[in-house]
Chain A
């Protein structure tokens, strides 16, 4: 499971021994279906990258990598114990369950309230009930139209970006 920085894993090649840590991070995060993952030498990672300015022998890149490695020295060498992750998983799942139950109760309560309101108003004053029904239908249609237009604008904005 844990990446050992072995270049034979097919995700890339360590540039030099001192870059072992860098390789660890890189190879662990390599996407399974990426172009880069298909290259075994790790050098020609993106053939389509015309602007790709990276040169493994560039002193600038070496300094940048060195800087990143210095940052890693500030962090612990090993992750917290498994029980802490186990607790986190259980707590998160418990909170999710509680949230779902709360949302369901809230939804049911609101639905019952609205339904009761409709039933009472239709029984007490059918005319007002029909008027309210028409108003709500018009509002719903208007709301739907606004949502559709906003969605179209958003899509257009994303495409033109």
Chain B
């Protein structure tokens, strides 16, 4: 069966088809959210929430608008940004996020891998800047698509990415020296 057929069946209410689609895209969403949150526990929770939201809203998915994976990435992005906005009010948030990035670094190093210094700089960026950079740089979305995902104007996306990359490049040069 093609993805289109799975989607049609899922929209008709076929649980097996929907489960299959979610399983196919689970790792994609989890990997994306790990890069964005830099926190494995949060990434797993948000992935679960993304799956639930997709089940609830599958009837609204329009195949002509975007690929199914893109639709899931959009849901995941909005859930992450909403969650962060809510939690930003908590004073412990920033410290918690920095702690999570340190924890990831430890886990990578435990796996006998080196941790690129650039990732520390990425962790220090604001979450909306980091999200835009990841969507553009790693997933190759156009500015307009990122703007739609993040519900912000395209110009804002451009300037955030530009500014974020300037910071990262600067950090990168400093670590080289």
A interface vs B, CB < 8 Å?
1-2, 12, 22, 25-26, 28-36, 42, 45-46, 48-49, 51, 53-54, 60-61, 63-68, 70-76, 78-80, 82, 85-86, 88-90, 92-93, 96, 161
Contacts and interface: CB of A to CB of B under 8 A. Distances in A.
Interface of B: 1-3, 6, 15-16, 18-20, 22-28, 30-32, 34-35, 38, 40, 48, 51-52, 55-56, 63-67, 69-70, 73, 104, 107-108, 111, 113-116, 118-119, 122, 134, 136-143, 145, 152-153, 156, 158-159, 161-162, 165, 168-169, 172
A89 B20 CA distance: 10
B34 A71 contact: yes
- 9 tightest CB-CB pairs across the interface, nearest first? A85-B19, A79-B26, A67-B116, A67-B119, A86-B19, A92-B55, A31-B70, A32-B67, A29-B69
A33 B6 CA distance: 19
A51 B19 contact: no
A86 B16 contact: yes
B27 A88 contact: no
A46 B145 CA distance: 11
Contact of A70 (B52, B108, B142, B145): B108
Contacts of A33: 64-66
A26 B73 CA distance: 11
Contacts, number: 167
A64 B26 contact: no
Contact of B142 (A1, A45, A85): A45
A71 B104 contact: yes
Nearest to A12: B140
Given A73-B108, A73-B111, A28 B25 contact: yes
B143 A46 contact: yes
23 contacts: A1-B2, A12-B140, A28-B25, A28-B69, A29-B141, A30-B70, A45-B140, A53-B161, A60-B169, A65-B137, A68-B134, A68-B138, A70-B113, A70-B119, A71-B119, A73-B108, A73-B111, A73-B113, A74-B40, A80-B23, A82-B23, A88-B19, A96-B56
